[in-house]
Amino acid sequence: MSEVKVFGMKAETGRWIFVLVGLLMNVCLGAVYAFSVFRKPLEGLWSVSATQAGLPFMVFLAMFAVFMALAGGLVTSWGPRKTSLLGAVLVGAGWILAGFAPNILWLTIFYGVIGGSGVGILYGCPIAVAAKWFPDKKGFAVGLTLAGFGLSALLMAPWMTSTIASESVGVAKTFMYFGVAFLAVLVTLSFGLRNPKPDWKPAGWKGAAAKGGSGVELDRGQMLRTPAFYALWGSYIIGCLAGLMAIGIAAPVGREVALLSSETAAIAVSLFAVFNGVGRPLFGWLTDKITPRGTALLSFALILGASALLYFAGQGSPAVYFVAFSVLWLNLGGWLAIAPTATSTFFGAKHYAKNYGVVFTAYGIGAIAGNLLSGMIHDATGGYLPVFVPVMGLATLGLVVALVGLRPTSLGAPAGPGAKK
């Protein structure tokens, strides 16, 4: 058999370029996390409320989750390159059209619906490619690929803020200019995505099942008949919901609980974004080493500890605030690596794109519920510390779900041509 070459290099070396391509793609896709810099300018531009100004962001997250689930079949039938190109065009079009929106409704349609659906279609492509090129270290490779999404706000927010503030640009043209840039970058990078041949394996790798896995190849229907899927899906909801409940209030907690200045609280949020990015390769690597179940248990224990620390010792303590929120942001990023790695580990790589599309609906549920619940609890109690009581409860529930359900024995014995006996 002739030696496999990737970008003119041995496959074991050249395959890392796919990780770099995916990381750069995710820097563009993750710009949605910098949307907060648009909210105040939009309120002033169209005289809308804070709730209305946040509507494009909420719709974007919803469309992201919905189209991530729907696009899994496209990755399988079209391949990652064509699917990625479709997503890239929609992302660019959404941002560009947002620059011409005459009001908040049209901005929600252009940015939220079109841009969000594009991100949902494209998001799974570099993840699927990384998982297939790195069967020997899929968690670490997927985590590195996704690090760009977590770090994007750190890079994009200052750049977008200065562009919005420019008298010659303003808020509308900022959407348009970044849309043109994203379109060019994402379309170019899409041509760099491709899967290995089905029988390809890294040199020296024996093809052993990943730690905590079972070696089966299940399609979407078979996966949905296993207890392990519901344990993973439930854990993912809890991890995202608990993380986003806390993360969505990071800045006001810094000001009102830790008693930081507005400037220091803003700097803190930028610091936390680094932990969000680092959490993805770190927890991906841990998933490879100590199994999805072990990593999930560690994550929920850390979320429980950080929330308890904030609730019982956070008032007036900047040190507690920085430590606890760093841990919470680290773990939210971590779940965006644990879940895709666990999907491949438990259910196989063959149908990964379709399977993870379904699993990822947990993120949408967690994102929307987390943001709504934190606001409702604050409105009902008048403070932010009570938010961490349900976070502690959710983390405890997550420990139980992960302990009982996140293991190969909960896969059962699904019938069908894709299941191994």
pLDDT one-digit tens code per residue, 104-121: 999 999 999 999 999 999
Is residue 237 a part of any domain in this protein? yes
- 120 and 227 both lie in a single domain: no
| pLDDT tens for each residue of 29-58 | 999 888 878 888 898 899 988 778 878 988
What is residue 251's predicted lDDT score, i.e. its pLDDT?
75
Q: Does residue 14 surpass a pLDDT of 80?
A: yes
Average pLDDT score over the chain: 88
Q: Which residue has the higher pLDDT, 263 or 287?
A: 287
**Mean of pLDDT values over 23-30:** 95
The domain boundary, picked from 208, 242, 259, lies at 208
What is residue 414's predicted lDDT score, i.e. its pLDDT?
45
Amino acid at 180: V
What is residue 138's predicted lDDT score, i.e. its pLDDT?
87
DSSP 411: G
- 376 and 265 both lie in a single domain: yes
Rg over CA atoms, the chain: 21
Is residue 417 a part of any domain in this protein? no
What is residue 1's predicted lDDT score, i.e. its pLDDT?
44
What is residue 365's predicted lDDT score, i.e. its pLDDT?
87
Q: Does residue 24 surpass a pLDDT of 80?
A: yes
| pLDDT tens for each residue of 273-290 | 889 899 999 999 999 999
Q: Which residue has the higher pLDDT, 329 or 7?
A: 329
Q: Which residue has the higher pLDDT, 122 or 156?
A: 122
CA–CA gap between residue 367 and residue 397 (Å, rounded): 18
What is residue 366's predicted lDDT score, i.e. its pLDDT?
85
- 164 and 231 both lie in a single domain: no
- 370 and 334 both lie in a single domain: yes
pLDDT tier for residue 157 given thresholds of 50, 70 and 90: confident
- 231 and 196 both lie in a single domain: no
Structure tokens at 106: 């049209």
What is residue 415's predicted lDDT score, i.e. its pLDDT?
39
Provide, rounded to the nearest whole percent, the portion of the chain with pLDDT above 70: 94
Domain ranges, residue 232: 217-412
Q: Which residues contact 262 (CB under 8 A, 6 or more apart)?
A: 255
Is residue 57 a part of any domain in this protein? yes
CA–CA gap between residue 109 and residue 114 (Å, rounded): 7
Q: Does residue 419 surpass a pLDDT of 60?
A: no
What is residue 416's predicted lDDT score, i.e. its pLDDT?
41
Structure tokens at 231: 């344990």
- 110 and 238 both lie in a single domain: no
Q: Is residue 41 within 8 Å of 333, Cβ to Cβ?
A: no
| pLDDT tens for each residue of 170-194 | 999 999 999 999 999 999 999 999 9
Is residue 5 a part of any domain in this protein? no
Residues in the chain: 421
Is residue 377 a part of any domain in this protein? yes
The domain boundary, picked from 173, 208, 243, lies at 208
Q: Is residue 251 within 8 Å of 265, Cβ to Cβ?
A: yes
Q: Does residue 417 surpass a pLDDT of 50?
A: no
pLDDT tier for residue 296 given thresholds of 50, 70 and 90: very high
| Distance from the Cα of residue 390 to its chain's centroid | 22
| Distance from the Cα of residue 115 to its chain's centroid | 16
The domain boundary, picked from 176, 208, 240, lies at 208
- 254 and 355 both lie in a single domain: yes
- 108 and 229 both lie in a single domain: no
- 310 and 194 both lie in a single domain: no
> 380, 377, 379, 399: which is closest to 389 by C-alpha?
377
CA–CA gap between residue 338 and residue 330 (Å, rounded): 12
CATH number of the domain where residue 165 is located: 1.20.1250.20
- 238 and 373 both lie in a single domain: yes
- 255 and 203 both lie in a single domain: no
Q: Is residue 330 within 8 Å of 279, Cβ to Cβ?
A: yes
CA–CA gap between residue 57 and residue 73 (Å, rounded): 26
- 204 and 260 both lie in a single domain: no
> 232, 187, 201: which is closest to 346 by C-alpha?
232
Is residue 3 a part of any domain in this protein? no
Is residue 340 a part of any domain in this protein? yes
Q: Annotate 143-207 with three-state secondary structure.
A: HHHHHHHHHHHHHHHHHHHHHHHCCCCHHHHHHHHHHHHHHHHHHHHHCCCCCCCCCCCCCCCCC
What is residue 326's predicted lDDT score, i.e. its pLDDT?
93
Bridge partners (DSSP) of residue 5 are: 10
Amino acid at 212: G
H/E element holding 10? strand 9-10
Exposure pattern of 118-139 as b/e (b: 16+ CB <10 Å)? bbbbbbbbbbbbbbbbbbbbbb
> 178, 336, 172, 151: which is closest to 243 by C-alpha?
336
Q: Is the pTM of this model over 0.85?
A: no
Q: Report the domain count for the chain.
A: 2
| pLDDT tens for each residue of 66-111 | 898 888 888 888 999 999 999 999 999 999 999 999 999 999 999 9
**Mean of pLDDT values over 360-371:** 83
Is residue 83 a part of any domain in this protein? yes
**Mean of pLDDT values over 209-229:** 81
pLDDT tier for residue 412 given thresholds of 50, 70 and 90: low
| Distance from the Cα of residue 68 to its chain's centroid | 11
